[in-house]
Amino acid sequence: MTINKLGRSFPILFFVVLLAPSRVEAQGGDVASRMRARDQAQRMIEAFVAGDLKIYAHYTYPPVLKLSGGEEGYIRQTKDFIETQKNQGLFITGASIGDASIILKSGAGWECTLPEQTMIQRKEGKYISQSTLIAVSVDGGKNWTFLDTSNHSLAEMRKALPELNPGLVVKPPQPAVRYAN
């Protein structure tokens, strides 16, 4: 069926208008890209919890790897961090990722943030901490790398990584909250 107005037929215009919302999210990113960011972030933190630091490093933002002396240096520093935490009686037992924020354009590609909830076992009980991951994609949202903001302020991160989009909203990390013995 066509819609006639002033003797013109508009079936193609109707079809284009129907599809337009999925294509017009230039600054918000499409839903599939945001879901990929969340899925890949979840894979990254699951690898960390499982001790697969090679996969964990694969999903780490490349400038962070570079600042750590490359992938091997980053893995070594991460192993040292985990060992220090274990010696203090702190074990990360799980983590989950929330939905990605809108996607912002940056000089290198796309950026968004994702809330992260980490489950921690300490001698005195179980805790949950809340923080934010910054996700970066340089290939239009197909592949994502991540920065964990739990140990650094956004100002510190911007100083070390000035290419981050100034529109990123990163909530300050919250102190861990005890939820069980």
Tens-place pLDDT, residues 126-155: 999 999 999 999 999 999 999 998 878 778
Q: What is the pLDDT of residue 173?
A: 75
Per-residue model confidence as pLDDT tens digits over 39-67: 999 999 999 999 999 999 999 999 999 99
The pairs formed by 75-80 with CB atoms below 8 angstroms and a separation of 24 or more are 78/48, 78/53, 79/53
What is the distance between the alpha carbons of residues 157 and 168, in angstroms, rounded to a whole number? 12
CATH number of 28-180: 3.10.450.100
pTM (2 d.p.): 0.80
Q: Is the pLDDT of residue 72 over 80?
A: yes
Tokens of 181: 């013995």
Q: What is the pLDDT of residue 155?
A: 81
Closest CA to 29 of 136, 107, 145, 132: 136
Q: Name the residue ranges covered by the structural domains of the chain.
A: 28-180
Q: What is the pLDDT of residue 158?
A: 82
Residue 13's pLDDT band (cuts 50, 70, 90): very low
Residue 58: what residue type?
H
Q: Does the CA dihedral 123-125-126-132 come out positive or negative?
A: negative
Q: Residue for token digits 């290419």?
A: 163
What is the distance between the alpha carbons of residues 33 and 37, in angstroms, rounded to a whole number? 6
